[in-house]
Structure formats: structure tokens, C-alpha cells
Chains A and B, each alone.
Chain A
Amino acid sequence: MLNTNLKHLETEQEVKEVLEKNENVMICCGRMGPMCVPVFRVMEDLERSYPHVTFRDQDFDISAADIIRNLPDCALFMGLPFTVYFKNGKVVAATSSIQNKDQVMEVLDREFGKQS
């Protein structure tokens, strides 16, 4: 169970809906561990500054996480969390393991446009 202030994706239906209904989506799939929590915190921190991006997290160990875990873009990943950026439902970037705020912002700015 994730203890964050982000909205969690708990079912496959929720994953599909968030990707269908939003143009820019960042999903971080991980656990409450030392590599994942910093990324969750960065997302919480950036959520207000990027209103044009939908931020969600997901527990790596639930079955609904298959959608993220089985993405071809994550096939070579060997470090938690798996963080995937979607534009119009398609993957535009994906990272593995811990990322700092600058690294996350670099992808957000590049793929979705700069913060407001």
C-alpha cells in the first residue's frame, strides 16, 4: 500500500481511464522504499506547478501494475520505481530507479511543456 498524497491507480480500469481522459500523464509504479519514495515526493511537490499533467502512483506489487510492468519500454528496467510518461495514451518517456527533481522536470518540460 502506498502512503503518499498522490492519487493511486488500483485497478486496470483506472489505469485505462486516466490514460484515455488525460493528454499528459506521469505514472510512478513502485513501493514505499528508499528508491521510490523520493520520486513520489518529487511528484507531490510538482503536482501544483504542472496543472496540465496528471500525476498518479501505483503499487508495484498489485496485479493492475502489469500494464506498466509489461510495457516494452520497461522491459530492460531493473530498478524501482518504473516511471512512465504518457502523451495521448502513448509512452513518450520512461525511467527506472530513483530520479531527482531536476531529472523529473527535465522530462516533464521536454515532453509536456514547462510548468506554469
Chain B
Amino acid sequence: MMNNNDLDNQDEGLVSFLKKNAPDIPKTSDGLEDRIMKAISAEESPPLEEESLFDKLKQFFNPYIFIPASIAVAALLVAAIILPIGKTTKDNSLEMAETGDFVEYVWETGYEDYWDNDLTAEINEIMEL
């Protein structure tokens, strides 16, 4: 386990001296082992647990998993929610314009946010037909 790479040449003598003269470990007192066993018997110790939901969540929130997953979910949300809404609005608008109900619909529902020049032009064109 000794990693000589960590040693400069000038340190070899010092480290060797330290090892050779390392302070002795004092003899263990009689009864310490029993004292510790008695102490742990009195101590409450939580039981070993299987991997909890929190651990699984923590694993999920690992940046290497969580960030790509978040981007993927965000992209799916854009695709699933924003795009169909835009398409439906325009399709419905034109359909209603064709039937003559659109202006009334906009008037009643305050749908004017969706009113723009292109749509106006398209509706006028249809109405002139």
C-alpha cells in the first residue's frame, strides 16, 4: 500500500525515521472489550434498511441522470402541449371563419389575442368567395 511516488528523495530518511520510531500503541486496558460490548448493548442501533424511496430519489437526482431526463421531459412537453394547441387554434379558426361563426366567436370569447393580420387576410379572402 505504500506509495513511494508520494515521497521525495529527501523525505525518505525522515519517513524511515518516523516509521522506525513510531510511538508504541499503549496496551489495551483489561475489560475495555467487555465495556464496549456492554455499551453497545445499551445503545439503540437502527436496523439495517433496504434501499429507501429517498435513496432511490437521490439516485434519480444524480446530475448525470436528472439533467438529461429533465431536458427530454421538457422537449416532450413542448411537443405534446404547445404544438397541438397552435395547430388546433389555427385549424379551428379557419374552420369557423368558413362557416361564418368565427367573428362572433371571437367577439363573445375575447379570443382577440389570436387575431392577427394574416388571419384577418385569410378570413377576408374566404368571406369574399
Q: Is this pair of chains taken from one and the same complex?
A: no
Q: A residues near B, CB below 8 A?
A: none
